[in-house]
Amino acid sequence: MSAPPLERPADDTALQAHFDATVAAEHRIEPRDWMPEGYRKTLIRQIAQHAHSEIIGMQPEGDWLLAAPSLRRKAILLAKVQDEAGHGLYLYSAAETLGADRADLTDKLIEGRQKYSSIFNYPTLTYADVGVIGWLVDGAAICNQVPLCRSSYGPYARAMIRVCKEESFHQRQGYELLMTMMRGTDAQRAMVQDAVDRWWWPSLMMFGPPDTDSPNSAQSMAWGIKRHSNDELRQRFVDMTVPQAEFLGVTLPDPELSLDPETGRYRFGAIDWDELKRVISGGGPCNVERITRRRAARDDNAWVTEAATAYAAKRTGERASPQAGGTSRLRGTATEERNESGVEPSSPEKHS
Ligand SMILES: [Fe+2]
Ligand SMILES: [Fe+2]
């Protein structure tokens, strides 16, 4: 898909004014609308990072699919992990409406040029981790993503509506699993507490660096891409989660956690920002494992991509180049098809 023109036309002031007015009126910017290049680039970066997080996030829980303790637990976990795949696909599609190419985005992820959420670089050591991820990680995702349903970019905002409905199921299945374990044996309760101890702080880091160290936030908020600051969302998550922890009967690993009677909000201890920086820049416990696995999935399934792309070309009456091979050729085929027919071809990743 060719990117929209990089250069503004002569009447760019009028276009900018129209864009600003659209955002100010809380209307949506759509793919064919003019938009500032910074807005487009910021959105591609954010949506790609979000998509990568959904796809990489399948790994820590996917590790438990074969070991889930009953058919019921297996069915719930399988549905949840498949939902995450779907979230990744909606988001890659949203990025494509901005002129990005999903195969290129995947390459950037694998080469370390784009990031994904630091939380997925921690290991799932016991089955209680599955419950805690649903409760805390999907719970944090809900806090982050509900405001994105009002994002100024139409395709992103609309994708988020369905994503949030599914995240709500993810959070509830996690909490229900933990409730079941807490009503079980001492060993099960200890397992839940241990998982909470390990995931609590990384969950708070999911909201990103503190506002004082988040240089791009102000512009994203002015553009209506982001609706609340990192610290505001983090506080909302803590306020929502502490009563849930009490009801569950677990202790959150923060001795400084206390209710401020004046504000009605919870105060919490200092976050180890060095840990976040270390994990984001590749030094977490599972960074190498996650990317190695993603690379293997791309390479081992290249034949599926090739077959699906050839089939899509055939269906639209186009002849796939017989001597071509490799992903760059595949991308070319898909691009030509979309440009000429005006219809997006069956995406290779939808078949993988
Ligand atoms: Fe998700
Ligand atoms: Fe989820």
> CA-CA distance, 272 to 231, in Å (whole number)?
14
250: region left, alpha or beta (phi > 0 left; psi from -120 to 50 alpha): beta
Residue range(s) defining the domain that contains residue 66 = 13-273
Question: CB under 8 Å, gap of 24 or more: what pairs does 214-222 form?
Answer: 216/42, 219/38, 219/42, 220/42, 220/46
Picking from 144, 145, 127, 138, the residue whose alpha carbon sits closest to that of residue 63 is: 127
User: Has residue 278 been placed in a domain?
Assistant: no
Dist. CA 115 → ligand 2 center (Å)? 18
239 CA distance to ligand 2 centroid (A)?
Answer: 20
Domain count, the chain: 1
Whether residue 205 is contained in a domain is answered as yes
Distance 55 CA to ligand 1 centre (A): 8
Beta bridge partners of 260: 265
Q: Calculate the CA dihedral of residues 330, 299, 42, 211 and round it to 10 degrees.
A: 170
- pTM for the structure as a whole: 0.85
State the pLDDT at residue 202: 98
For residue 298, how far is its CA from the centre of ligand 2 (angstroms)?
22
- Residue 28, in any domain of the structure: yes
Q: How far is the CA of 17 from the centre of ligand 1 (A)?
A: 35
| Per-residue pLDDT in tens (0 to 9) along the chain, 352 residues | 444 444 455 578 899 999 999 999 999 999 999 999 999 999 999 999 999 999 999 999 999 999 999 999 999 999 999 999 999 999 999 999 999 999 999 999 999 999 999 999 999 999 999 999 999 999 999 999 999 999 999 999 999 999 999 999 999 999 999 999 999 999 999 999 999 999 999 999 999 999 999 888 889 989 999 889 999 999 999 999 999 999 999 999 999 999 999 999 999 999 999 999 999 999 999 999 999 999 999 999 999 989 998 999 999 886 655 554 444 444 444 443 343 333 333 433 333 3
Which ligand is closest in space to the CA of residue 133? 2
350 lies in some domain: no
- Please check whether residue 27 lies inside any domain of the structure: yes
Distance 52 CA to ligand 1 centre (A): 10
pLDDT of residue 218: 86
Report CA(166)–ligand 1 centroid distance (Å). Answer: 7
Ligand 2 midpoint to CA 326 (Å): 33
Residue 138 falls inside a structural domain: yes
Q: Is residue 291 part of a domain?
A: no
pLDDT at site 244: 98
Give the CATH number, domain containing residue 190: 1.20.1260.10
Q: Quick one: pLDDT at residue 214?
A: 85
Which ligand is in closest contact with the Cα of 139? 2
Q: Using an 8 Å Cβ cutoff, are 59 and 120 in contact?
A: yes
Integer Cα distance of 189 and 193 in angstroms: 6
